[in-house]
Each structure stands twice: as C-alpha cells, then as structure tokens.
Amino acid sequence: MRGAKSAKWVAGAIVVAMAATACGGGSGDEGKKSPSGKPEGYVSIDVGEPQKPLIPADTNESLGSYVIQSLFTQLLDFDSKGEIVYTNAESVTTTDSKTWTVKLKSGWKFHNGEAVTAQSYVDAWNWYANVKNQQQNSFWFSDIAGYADVHPEKGEPKADKMSGLKVVDDTTFTITLTEKVPYFNYKLGYATFAPLPKVFYDDPKAFGKKPIGNGPYKFEKWTHKKLIQVAANPDYQGPNKAKNKGIQFKNYATVEAAYQDVVSGNLDIIRQVGPTDLPKYKQDLGEGAIEQPYAAIQTLVPAFYTSTFKDMDPKVRQGLSMAIDRETITKTVLNSTRTPATSFVPPQVKGNQDLGTDVFTYNPAKAKQLVTEGGGVPGNKVLIQYNSDGGHKEWVTAVCESIRNATGVDCVGDAKPDFATDLEARDNDQVKSMYRGGWVADYPVNVNFIKELYHSGAEANNGRFKNAAIDKMMAEADKANSLEESVKGYQEVEKKLLEEMPAIPLWYYRINGGHGKGVDNVEVDFHGDLELTGVTVK
C-alpha cells in the first residue's frame, strides 16, 4: 500500500517537472528570443572559451582569435582567394621590400571614441614585441629593425621602442625591416598586428577581460565558460561591416552537443561537425551544410635525429609517400573531410603549383621499388606519433596498413594521450620515428608553408630537417624585390623539397560545418574560419 502511494507521488512529481520544462520552452518561442536569451538579430556560433585574456598578440589558438578578429581590425585582410583587401589601411607600399610605408584611412575610431592613428599602431607593436610583456606572438615582429633591442634572447630589453617604426603624421607611418621581406605586407593581415587604444596601457590585464578594439563588433559581455557576446559597431567603416546585429560565441562541452543544438535551432552555426554526425549532417542540415577546403595541411614528419631517418636515401621517403592510398583513406576513414595532397602548399595559397610528380599518387609496385632502391628502412619499421585526443587514431591505422601492404615495411601508431604530451615529445627530440604534423596558414603565401616548417632554424621544424642548400635557396628568395619573384623563388624551393622529402604531405583540410535555418550567407575564409560579419539573419 505504502509503496504504491509513494510511486504515485513520484509520478506526480515527474509530471509537474515535465510541465515546467515544456512551459519554459514554449514561452521562449513566443518572446522571439531563443531559450538561451539570444537578442534578436544576433548570430550564435559554437566558439568556446578562449584560453587566454583577449589581447591580440597573446592569442593564436582558434577560439580566442575568432573573438579577437571580431573586435579588432588590422591594416589589411584577405578575400577567399587569398588576395589582399585593405581594411584599416589606405595602402601599404614599398619600393625595395625593406622600407614599407603605411597610410591609414582617416576617421577611424576605437569603440571608446579614440581616433585610430599611426601612433596607435606603433605603440601597440612596440608593446607587443617587448620581451617583458611576454606576448606569445612577439616573434611576429622580429622582421622589424630594432627587434633585438626590445626582445633580446636573454636578459632585459635595451630599449622600449623598435628603431624600425617611425610615425610620419597622424595617418602615416613607416616600417623599416632588418632585411628584405618581399611578402611582409601579407604578414600584416595576421591578427597580431592590431592597434591598441591608450586605455590599454593603464591596465593590460583588465583590458584583456573587456577589450576595446577598432573592429566590426564591440565587446558586450563575457560570461566565462558560457558565452562571449559582441554587438555590431554602427560606426565601422571597413569593407567587412557587420550585416547582423551581433554575435554570440557560445561554449559547448562537446561538438556533438553543439550539433544537436544546431539541428534543433538553438544554435545558428557550428564550425565543425563531429565524426559521429558526419555521415548524416548533410541530410540533417540540407542547404545549411558547409563543406569547403581551406589552407591547412596534414603531413607525416620524419624525425631526422632518429636512427631510422638519419642517413636515409630520400627515395625511401618518396616510396613511403607512394605507399599511402590517400584517395581511399580520405574517402572512407575520414568521411571526405580531407582532400588528398598534391604538394607541400595548399591550393588557397599564393604560389601553389602543380609539381608534375607521381610521388603523391598511390602506386604500391613503384613504392616498393623505390624503398628497395633507396636501401630500405633501417629496422624495417616506422612509427607514427599522434595525439589520441584529436581523432587521429583511425587514419594513422589506415595509413600504416597501406604502407605495410604496399612496401612490407612494418608500421605502427605511437599514441600519446593528448596534444600536450605529443608536443613535449616533439620539442625534446623524443619522437621515435615520425610524427603527425599539421599546419594552418597564417598568411596566404607559400613561404608560410615552406620556411616556417623546413628551414633549419625554424621553431616549428620539429623533425630537425637540415639542408644548407635549401636554406640558401630560401635566403635568395627572401632577397627578391617583389612578391612575385619571391613566391617564384619559394616555388623552386618546393621543387627541391620534393627531392629531399622533409615531410610526407598527406591531405589538405576541409571544413565540415553547418548552419541552421535562421541564418544565411555563411562563408569560409582562407584559413578555415567562418566569416561572421557577412552572416545575415532571416
């Protein structure tokens, strides 16, 4: 008897609670506000909590840079083809690739009303570059003359201003570089080169929590681990003026949860659909499904300090490359989220070329022949190091299978529990054989995919590939007077890379995201970010 009674009571409680829940959903619809409290005309996207406070030169992970790019505008930007579009600058010119003159558009203002002047840029860059301020992206300023004074390798800085930066008048300043960098203007599109208002210097820490920029959106609020909200800046004069009223960057614990919300209409845009939902997302989202390649590449990087790769004939690496069936793996294992690579430089990048080679084509017979001709792999075994938290296990297994079948060289995955551990092994030269490398374009020129990865002195050259001839070719290409010449020079370098194979390119990334029925005009830029300013609300 008693039991029956309590069961009834529980059932009653459930009914009441259900009614309460359903009610909450219903009233939300009527108020033309989603249950999340999104203001009308705003667009929501699954961009999680930035790792760090929002200071332009201290952020290079994608979550933070999404927000930074909505709040700050640099001198220039790129269109989807990778061509320069001037935003805050009227022009950026040079005659010798060494001294650059920047003319700003006049009348630009920060969100607090302060005018954006040449001084705003010069002061900001000097602050960013100063070693005392510990900015993560400070090395981006190392081309500028006087960088060594504000950012010595050891000890205190000798100066707080770089000699290479000179203010001419309110809207003009010049940048002198230590050496010629023909593609320097392309670097200026990186978020790090943003200007700062005067209030920043009073308290950088507080500023990072409530940034004031010059971009298409104004900062509104930041509820940690939940959302960041920015509102359209009505006074914005750049070409990328916001077509919506604002953006909500919402934090999701998993991509699956975000996906569920896009499907049900509680979220407008998802940046990347998780592997479990990939097979059905096009059906679920219809016209909202986004599938587009962008300038990023996945490679297998041999560690040249290991006994396996130390004195290896490059032919063997070419053979290994031909032993990988990129077509099948991208289609089946990776659900067509990648495009097979045909060079070291992705197509969206200036200088991408047809290398006219079969090194990237699957050919088991020739693969085996090349490996044998080159003297084989020492120990007849390679390992591929990867981080098991990033969904790489499946394709690593498939690539290994492909190599084993084609060449008879044994291949196994070397899993590290997470990205931090993976990076540590790379930094400390503890990679056992090869590692999984990835690179997203910072600026759309082939230099970014060649010099930053395969120059002997490059920080990201974790395979420790060293080749004096190639270093020299890069130095030559940097001496060019025009961008075109320099890009050509690097194209020659790329041809040389093909002979040496400092890495085995696998595939270019694709973005597989989507948006709900509430929004339209969602475009992807060259490095795979969604262009939020152009999104319209239906």
Partner 1 sequence: MGRYVARRLLQMIPVFIGSTFLIFAMMYALPGDPVRALMGDQAFDPAVLEAKRHELGLDLPLWQQYVNYLTGLLQGDFGTEIGSGRPISEIIGQAFPVSVRLTLFAFAFTVIVGIGLGIVAGLRPESVRDRGLLGLTLVLISMPSFVLGYLMQYLFAFQLGLTTPTVQDSESFGDLFLPAIVLGSLSLAYVARLTRTSMAENLRADYMRTAVAKGLPRRRIVGVHLMRNSLIPVVTFLGTDIGNLMAGAIVTEGIFNVQGVGDAIYEALFRREGATVVGIASLIVLVYLLASLLVDLLYAVLDPRIRYA
Residue from 32, 95, 202, 205 touching partner 1 (CB under 8 A): that is: 205
Min dist. Cβ of residue 187 to partner 1 (A): 12
Q: Is 208 in the site for partner 1 (CB under 8 A)?
A: yes
User: Looking at 118-164, which runs of residues are DSSP E strands?
Assistant: none
Q: Is 25 in the site for partner 1 (CB under 8 A)?
A: yes
Q: Tokens 């690179």: give the residue.
A: 439
Within residues 329-368, the interface with partner 1 by CB under 8 A covers none
Residue 537: which H helix or E strand, with range? strand 536-537
C-alpha distances (whole Å) from 211 to each of 13, 119, 215, 222 are 47, 19, 11, 10
Token duo for residue 119: 């001084």
**Main-chain dihedrals φ then ψ at residue 472, nearest 5 degrees:** -65, -40
For the sheet with 89-94, list strands across it: 89-94, 99-104, 172-176, 165-169
Nearest Cα to Cα of residue 509 among 391, 337, 257, 304 = 337
Residue from 253, 365, 468, 469 touching partner 1 (CB under 8 A): that is: 253
Min dist. Cβ of residue 263 to partner 1 (A): 8
Choose the stretch contacting partner 1; rule: CB under 8 A; options: 127-135, 311-319, 320-328, 374-382: 127-135
CA-CA distance, 168 to 394, in Å (whole number)?
A: 56
Token duo for residue 289: 């499904």
Question: CA torsion sign, 343 to 344 to 350 to 355?
Answer: negative
Residue from 80, 163, 252, 488 touching partner 1 (CB under 8 A): that is: 252
Closer to partner 1 at the Cβ: 128 or 173? 128
Nearest Cα to Cα of residue 325 among 262, 403, 382, 264 = 403
Closer to partner 1 at the Cβ: 108 or 184? 184
Residue from 98, 103, 111, 151 touching partner 1 (CB under 8 A): that is: 151
Residue from 313, 452, 476, 520 touching partner 1 (CB under 8 A): that is: 452
Min dist. Cβ of residue 383 to partner 1 (A): 17
Within residues 47-86, the interface with partner 1 by CB under 8 A covers 49-53, 60-61
Residue from 373, 427, 484, 492 touching partner 1 (CB under 8 A): that is: 427
Residue from 45, 165, 425, 498 touching partner 1 (CB under 8 A): that is: 425
Cβ–Cβ contacts within 10 Å for residue 209, how many?
12
Min dist. Cβ of residue 193 to partner 1 (A): 16
Min dist. Cβ of residue 7 to partner 1 (A): 6
Q: Is 90 in the site for partner 1 (CB under 8 A)?
A: no
Nearest Cα to Cα of residue 76 among 66, 89, 65 = 89
Closer to partner 1 at the Cβ: 394 or 452? 452
Q: Are 368 and 406 in contact, with CB atoms under 8 Å apart?
A: yes
Radius of gyration of the chain (CA): 26
Min dist. Cβ of residue 482 to partner 1 (A): 25
Closer to partner 1 at the Cβ: 49 or 523? 49
Residue from 101, 397, 421, 467 touching partner 1 (CB under 8 A): that is: 421
| Residue window 391-420: x/- pattern of binding to partner 1, with contact defined by CB under 8 A | -------------------------x-xxx
Closer to partner 1 at the Cβ: 120 or 248? 248
Q: Are 260 and 494 in contact, with CB atoms under 8 Å apart?
A: no
Mode of pairing for the β-strands spanning 434-440 and 381-387:
parallel
User: Looking at 82-226, which runs of residues are DSSP E strands?
Assistant: 84-86, 89-94, 99-104, 165-169, 172-176, 217-223
Token duo for residue 41: 């005309």
Q: Is 32 in the site for partner 1 (CB under 8 A)?
A: no
Q: Is 226 in the site for partner 1 (CB under 8 A)?
A: yes
Closer to partner 1 at the Cβ: 237 or 388? 388
Min dist. Cβ of residue 91 to partner 1 (A): 29
User: H helices of 94-203, where?
Assistant: 118-129, 147-150, 184-187, 199-202
CA-CA distance, 111 to 122, in Å (whole number)?
A: 19
Residue from 198, 224, 310, 331 touching partner 1 (CB under 8 A): that is: 224
Residue from 90, 114, 220, 389 touching partner 1 (CB under 8 A): that is: 389
CA-CA distance, 444 to 84, in Å (whole number)?
A: 9
Min dist. Cβ of residue 142 to partner 1 (A): 8
Closer to partner 1 at the Cβ: 93 or 223? 223
Min dist. Cβ of residue 167 to partner 1 (A): 26
Choose the stretch contacting partner 1; rule: CB under 8 A; options: 4-12, 95-103, 300-308, 369-377: 4-12
What lies within 8 Å, CB to CB, of 376 at 6+ separation is: 316, 409
Token duo for residue 243: 């077509």
Choose the stretch contacting partner 1; rule: CB under 8 A; options: 85-93, 329-337, 458-466, 513-521: 458-466
CA-CA distance, 149 to 273, in Å (whole number)?
A: 46
Q: Is 138 in the site for partner 1 (CB under 8 A)?
A: yes
Closer to partner 1 at the Cβ: 205 or 538? 205
Token duo for residue 172: 């003009």
Q: Is 491 in the site for partner 1 (CB under 8 A)?
A: no
Mode of pairing for the β-strands spanning 89-94 and 99-104:
antiparallel
Nearest Cα to Cα of residue 222 among 364, 366, 344, 47 = 47
Site size for partner 1, by CB under 8 A? 74
Closer to partner 1 at the Cβ: 21 or 482? 21
| Residue window 254-293: x/- pattern of binding to partner 1, with contact defined by CB under 8 A | x-xxx-xx-xx-x---------------------------
